């Protein structure tokens, strides 16, 4: 299953979700702006912190798209189609 960690104010997040919906890729969206989503993101972050890129202010680059079938993750929208195999 593909999981995508997003923020409601993140335009790149909206773009990634739109692409996956258009291509009919099943996914689970995790809104890190909600308390439950933030809790899940913190758990994910602690497991994958060394793989997660951060911006100049130290914040994780969103969206983060994670494929739990092969434990691969991708950040941002550049190269997302290739990561998803579309």
Q: Which helix (DSSP H) or strand (DSSP E) does residue 64 occupy?
A: strand 64-67
Q: Is 2 helix (H, G, I), strand (E, B) or coil?
A: strand
Q: Which helix (DSSP H) or strand (DSSP E) does residue 12 occupy?
A: helix 11-22
Domain 2-84 has CATH 3.40.30.10: yes
Question: Are the CB atoms for 63 and 52 separated by under 8 Å?
Answer: no
State pLDDT tens for residues 46-57: 999 999 999 999
Residue 43 is predicted with a pLDDT of 97
State pLDDT tens for residues 24-46: 999 999 999 999 999 999 999 99
Domain boundaries, the chain: 2-84
Q: Which long-range contacts (CB under 8 A, 24 or more apart) does 37-45 make?
A: 37/5, 41/5, 44/3, 44/5
């Amino acid at each position: 299953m593909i999981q995508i960690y997003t923020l409601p104010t993140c335009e790149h997040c909206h773009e990634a979700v739109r692409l996956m919906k258009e291509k009919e890729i099943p996914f689970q969206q995790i809104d890190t702006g909600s308390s439950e989503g933030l809790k899940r993101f913190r758990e994910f972050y602690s497991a994958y912190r060394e793989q997660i890129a951060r911006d100049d202010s130290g914040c994780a680059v969103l969206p983060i798209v994670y494929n739990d079938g092969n434990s691969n993750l991708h950040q941002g929208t550049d190269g997302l189609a290739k990561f998803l195999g579309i």
